[in-house]
Amino acid sequence: MWLFLPGHAIQLPRVDSHSGNQYRGKDIVFQQNDGQAQLDVSGSHYEHCHNNPQRAAWEDAKLNGVDFRATGSTPDWILELTLDGDMQLVTGADHKHYDFTTPEPVIIESARKTLYSAQNKSHQIIVELNGKPCRDPVTGETREVTVNISLDDRHLKGCGSALH
């Protein structure tokens, strides 16, 4: 299990326990039972711990090598970009996937913009990353980059951050 603490992450191996799922590392014990969690870190005890699904999704993407991630709403969408790999856009409640090879970016330093334009067999995408802060209307978090996406004739707006 990966545990994300302020300032660092640590992987904890699972250990046998009669009182639920337990994970241990040096000076750290995490225990989960019936939806309740407890954490002991260097002698400090924390109860009523909970998972933050939105934040966990960003950390999961980072652990999986994603370099940039963005999200938007109306309709919901997620963009994950790997610089030396692929770009994946997932849209809507049906989670439709659009996969592209990440192209070389066009960087416009004077406008603080980076553009990615790619095409697959069926679709064309243009991703515009603007170096302007953006407030996510769903989570309320501020991200460093305003994102505009054109997918064929659709336009999507949202917020994103570099993960590495």
- Supply the DSSP symbol for 18: S
Condensed to tens digits (0 to 9), the pLDDT of residues 21-66 reads 899 998 899 988 876 788 999 889 988 877 778 888 898 899 899 9
77 neighbors 149 (Cβ within 8 angstroms): yes
Distance between CA 76 and CA 56 in Å, rounded?
18
138 neighbors 113 (Cβ within 8 angstroms): no
Condensed to tens digits (0 to 9), the pLDDT of residues 102-153 reads 999 999 999 999 999 999 999 999 999 999 999 988 888 999 999 999 999 9
Condensed to tens digits (0 to 9), the pLDDT of residues 83-95 reads 999 999 999 888 8
Cα-to-chain-centroid distance, residue 83:
15
Tokens of 128: 């515009």
Distance between CA 132 and CA 159 in Å, rounded?
9
Condensed to tens digits (0 to 9), the pLDDT of residues 64-85 reads 999 999 999 888 999 999 999 9
Higher pLDDT, 32 or 13: 13
- Residue 61: per-residue pLDDT: 94
Higher pLDDT, 53 or 156: 156
H/E stretch holding 63 reads helix 53-63
By CB neighbour count within 10 A (0-12 exposed, 13-18 middle, 19+ buried), where does 133 fall? exposed
Which residue is listed with tokens 């545990």? 3
**AA letter at 163:** L
Pick from 132, 125, 122, 113: nearest CA to 149: 125
- Residue 132: per-residue pLDDT: 96
The pTM score is: 0.80
* Omega within 30 of 0 (cis) for the link into 13: no
Higher pLDDT, 164 or 110: 110
Distance between CA 51 and CA 43 in Å, rounded?
22
